[in-house]
Amino acid sequence: MEHKRNDSIQKTQLIVEGQASGEVLVCVEGLSFWGGIDPQTGVIIDAHHPNHGDSVSYKCLLMPTSRGSCSGSGVLLQLALNNLAPAMIIFSEPEQVLTLGSIVCDRIFRISVPIICLSQKNYDAVASERWVDLRDHKLVLANQTINLDPISEDQLVLSEMDHAYLQGEYGSAAKAAMETICVMAAVDNADCLINVNKGHIDGCILAHDANLIFAEKMAQLGAQVAIPTTINAISVDRENWHKSGIDQNFGERASRLADAYVAMGVKPTFTCAPYLLNDKPQFGENIGWSESNAVIFANTVLGARTQKHPDYLDLFISMTGRAPASGIYSTHGREARVKIEVTIPQNWLPDDEIFWPLIGWLSGKLSPDTVPLITGLEYLSTTTDDLKSLCAAFGTTSGAPMLHIRGQTPESDGQADEGLPIKRIDSENLKEAWFELNRGLEKIDLVAIGSPHASIDEIRKIVTLLDGRRCHQHTQIKITTARDTIKLAEAEGLTEKLAAADVQLIPDLCWCSIIEPIFPREAKGLMTNSGKYAHYAHGLSNRHSRLGSLQNCVSAAVSGFAAHELPNWLID
């Protein structure tokens, strides 16, 4: 079933209302608020972003659209609670994550952060200003006034059940959930809602107080999920955090956050790779997931269907089993809009899996807001971990919820590439990407594996690569993974071998949520096999990372050193 979707921005669309004024800050690239902005200061901390060091607080913030993590909605809420939010945010392309955050600010916490979408002409006019006022549905510039049209839900055709939710028959929490879903449907120009079968919750990391405040408020209102729903990695080892040296207050609050979602009926899976669980979505199945890497993998590799739902909207969808019928839920919304031709370096060998996060990271750069079709990889033999790594890295640089890889992913052969704009990946931009993601030190103190959560195959490979050797006395390997994966590793005797090598397996957390002292305070040199973590590491830990294959990572752990040298296959 196809659903109407208009991808064009209405000329002057006021998504979330309010009165505001502020100095104009233009971001020529989209920005992930999570990992890209410090919610305690409002400063842009993404070291790879052109506006690194600028403050978004109190600004009229312009960007084409957001990118990266679904958790940006929670960061916007925390900024608002801290009185550090932008005065208003203006987009020129469709956007969901910050829009949802603003709606939650407005409807649940009564804090106004206006959201506006403009045509390119009007967007450019605002971008040329120094100061902008928003009042009475008008943007007032120095020599021009732009009239804004409030968003309308009149086009939505709702079911009897939808109306029952809106009338409060399922309680105040469910009513608020359905109201928000309908507003987001209007934002997406959807004409109806669809049923979804599974949910995945992302806003469960205690990156800031807003996530805890929101979850406990919803639990107190009696919120309950209506469909099977899993939950992302959290901020503590749920069962053993008391022994980890974490601050008591932080550990208790992080546990309360997890408990709030479990009390709402969410399965305590605590993994950022729910696609590795036994009950993974099936091809063509409509689901309501958050967590950017999970969404991209589900759409791209499994062929399931889900928008990249923002944090908090994921809960609302799980509470109702309904989502806006828009974007990636339709076959039209999944069509490739740009073709990326990859020329594989002649000397590359398949056992150097660093190739995959580099391809993902560059593909996101080349298609920051559209679904790409990647060609040139048709005859390669790929693993689930290769595609997991690619999808996660893609999500750091693109706002698109999926990609197609010719010959590798289930819907790629149905993608027409005639007439598509063409971008290219070759040895030159692969080198540039390698250097961008390898800003860290040569002396390695910490090797971080498991962003997204490590699979059982990755753990097996690490044991094989160690081959009975131990980590260097000043270097640690820490692997974050799901509890189900640890059970498999225990059954195969892998956990004993890892322990003998001084390698630590950590359940429930992932590197996006780890804080000191689990991240050793004294560690300065960092290495990872994850393009996602290499991208976000500096913003999260104030350390630049090195990126390498699992073999590189194990070698660095054993020797305590990783030379800052290009892989042989990238050397001319």
Residue 504 has phi, psi (to 5 degrees) of: -105, 130
Element (H, E) at 201: strand 199-201
CB 502 within 8 A of CB 1: no
Distances (CA, A) of 108 to 22, 323, 387: 24, 19, 38
Exposed e or buried b for every residue in 418-450, given b needs 16+ CB within 10 A?
Answer: eebeebebebebbbebbebbbbbbeebbbbbbb
Q: Contact 507/371 with Cβ under 8 angstroms? A: no
Residue of 69, 255, 389, 541 with catalytic role:
69
Structure tokens at 532: 């996602």
Cα–chain center distance at 8: 24
Q: Coil, helix or strand for 495?
A: helix
Q: How many helices (H) and strands (E) does the chain have?
A: 17, 23
Helix, strand, coil tally for the chain in percent (to 5):
35, 15, 50
SS3 of 467-487: the string is CCCCCCCCCEEEEEECHHHHH
The pairing of beta strand 138-140 with beta strand 131-135: antiparallel
Active site residue 389: no
CB-count burial class (<10 Å; 0-12, 13-18, 19+) for 484: middle
Q: What angle do CA 198, 201, 205 make, to 5 degrees?
A: 165
Q: Which two tokens stand for residue 457?
A: 């195959």
Stated as kind and residue range, the H or E segment containing 340 is strand 338-342
Whether 271 and 454 have beta carbons less than 8 Å apart is answered as no
Q: Which residues of 387-404 are buried (b: 16+ CB within 10 A; e: fewer)?
A: bbbbbbbbbbbbbbbbbb
**Using CA atoms, how far apart are residues 99 and 94, in angstroms rounded to an integer?**
10
Question: Can you tell me the distance from the alpha carbon of 400 to that of 412, in angstroms, rounded to the nearest whole number?
Answer: 16
CA distances, 88 to each of 116, 135, 161, 236 (Å) = 8, 11, 35, 34
SS3 of 104-157: the string is HHHHCCCCCCCEEEECHHHHHHHHCCCEEEEECCEEECCCCEEECEECCCCCCE
104 burial type by CB count under 10 A (0-12 exposed, 13-18 middle, 19+ buried): buried
Closest listed residue to residue 129, CA positions, set 13, 11, 23: 23
**Residue at token pair 């949910």:** 199
Tokens describing residue 553: 């990572």
CB 213 within 8 A of CB 81: yes
Do residues 557 and 563 lie in contact, with contact meaning Cβ atoms separated by under 8 Å? Answer: no
What are the residue numbers of the active site? 69
